[in-house]
Amino acid sequence: MRRPVIAGNWKMYKTIDEAVSTVADLVRLVDGVDDREILIAPTFVGLQAVANAARGTNVLVAAQDCAPHPGQGAFTGEVSAEMIADTGATHVIVGHSERRQYFHETDASVNQKIRACLGAGLTPIVCVGELLSDRDSGAAEGVAGRQIRGAFEGLTGAEVVRTIVAYEPVWAIGTGRTATPEIAQQMHRLIRETIANLVGSDVSEAIRILYGGSVKAENVSELMQEPDVDGGLVGGASLDALSFSRIVRYE
């Protein structure tokens, strides 16, 4: 059985104080939930404080990005996977569509970042997903498949299985337009088959694939009922502790 993951991506929201107080509220609201993984991804400046506030609880902490280069070096503005691990964070979101759209993230840099995370003992959450124009032109599956192959190029099955994938159709992010459970299932199945072709079905059956894009308390259960949907990556609805705790506690 794949253990579900519910992850909150706070994007460029919240001061450090707001982040710490939201995570403290969340810790109380999800106390005792132990059959699924719960993750929060604050900004870099909030990462250490949130990791301290969540330490020893069932809430794990993720960064929203990392440098493609391991260790230390002359890379102004960058934060390495090792530095993220040093805060107590355990996961990193890699290749989010906003980074692909606005910050020139490519499949090749996603691949480097995955390697950097694995080298630092962190779990990368690898985001893929098509644009609305891709979906309208029938290219959705081709785009997601290409992103998966590019992200995992040259990695062994033992490496790929240490990652989490998030399917986030760009047209569903922040739009209130959630993918139907059928579309999510179809795309997750395709992603699993792509991974099976790359590194074998042992890995593809074990890897968790999250859905992201307008996930809310009202639609999480029907999405989670699909056999290949193993969790959610939640943006807007993760900013409020009570709203996010309702998603975490889906039945």
- Catalytic one of 82, 96, 98, 105: 96
Q: Does residue 96 carry a catalytic annotation?
A: yes
Contacts with ligand 13P by CB under 6 A: the residue count is 14
Give the range of 70-78, 106-114, 143-151, 207-215 binding ligand 13P by CB under 6 A.
207-215
Integer Cα distance of 122 and 163 in angstroms = 9
Q: Does 231 bind ligand 13P (CB under 6 A)?
A: no
* Tokens describing residue 212: 């992201």
Least Å from the CB of residue 247 to ligand 13P:
10
Judge contact between 89 and 61, C-beta under 8 A.
yes
- The CA-based angle 189-192-194, given to 5 degrees, is 110
Q: Does 234 bind ligand 13P (CB under 6 A)?
A: yes
Least Å from the CB of residue 154 to ligand 13P:
26
Pairing mode of beta strands 208-212, 231-234: parallel
CA atoms within 13 A on the CB side of 127: 28
* Tokens describing residue 228: 């290949």
Among 4, 42, 212, 231, binds ligand 13P (CB under 6 A): 212
Give the range of 78-86, 138-146, 181-189, 230-238 binding ligand 13P by CB under 6 A.
230-238
- Backbone phi, psi, residue 135, to 5°: -65, -45
Site string for ligand 13P, 139-178 (x = CB under 6 A): -----------------------------x----xx----
Judge contact between 13 and 237, C-beta under 8 A.
no
Among 9, 111, 123, 204, binds ligand 13P (CB under 6 A): 9
Judge contact between 47 and 87, C-beta under 8 A.
yes
Q: Does 105 bind ligand 13P (CB under 6 A)?
A: no
Q: Does residue 168 carry a catalytic annotation?
A: yes
Judge contact between 226 and 190, C-beta under 8 A.
no
Question: How many other CB atoms sit within 10 Å of the CB of residue 4?
Answer: 18
For ligand 13P, the closer of residues 27 and 93 by Cβ is 93
Judge contact between 192 and 184, C-beta under 8 A.
no
Site string for ligand 13P, 52-91 (x = CB under 6 A): ----------------------------------------
Give the range of 13-21, 130-138, 149-157, 212-220 binding ligand 13P by CB under 6 A.
212-220
* Tokens describing residue 238: 């993760």
Binding site for ligand 13P (CB under 6 A): 9, 96, 168, 173-174, 212-215, 233-237
Q: List residues with catalytic annotation.
A: 96, 168
